[in-house]
Amino acid sequence: MTKYTIELTDTEDKAMSYAALSIQDWADNFLKVRSRKAIKEILELNMAHCNANGITIATGEDAQVTQAFELKVVKTAKEVNEESAKEASPKG
């Protein structure tokens, strides 16, 4: 399991204490909800790719997410950003 640490300035902390009962719970919930949406998107893309290419879909969500990355159906945001930067750089 991966752990993340977030640092806030005093002002950001005060602002979040206004917006949330528990800042840690809010951060945990946000990340879990966003990751759940990403998992759903990845599963849909992987299923479509596997069906279109006659590939057996892995069993279970964890395995399907791994399969999507291994088959290059999806890329990390970092990979997408790096590719975009390469495409945008002047060719010379």
3: in domain: no
Instruction: Domain count for the chain, please give it.
Output: 1
Does some domain include residue 17? yes
Residue 30 lies in a domain: yes
| pLDDT on residue 76 | 97
What one-character-per-residue DSSP string does 67-90 give?
HHHHTTSS--HHHHHHHHHHHHSP
Range of the domain at 43: 10-88
In a domain, residue 80? The reply is yes
* Residue 2 maps to a domain: no
Is residue 4 a part of any domain in this protein?
Answer: no
Q: With respect to residue 44, please indicate whether it lies within any of the assigned structural domains.
A: yes
With 0-12 / 13-18 / 19 or more C-beta atoms within 10 angstroms meaning exposed / middle / buried, residue 46 is: buried
49: in domain: yes
Tell me 62's DSSP state.
H
- Over residues 37-62, the pLDDT tens digits come to 999 999 999 999 999 999 999 999 99
pLDDT tens by residue, 4-25? 999 999 999 999 999 999 999 9
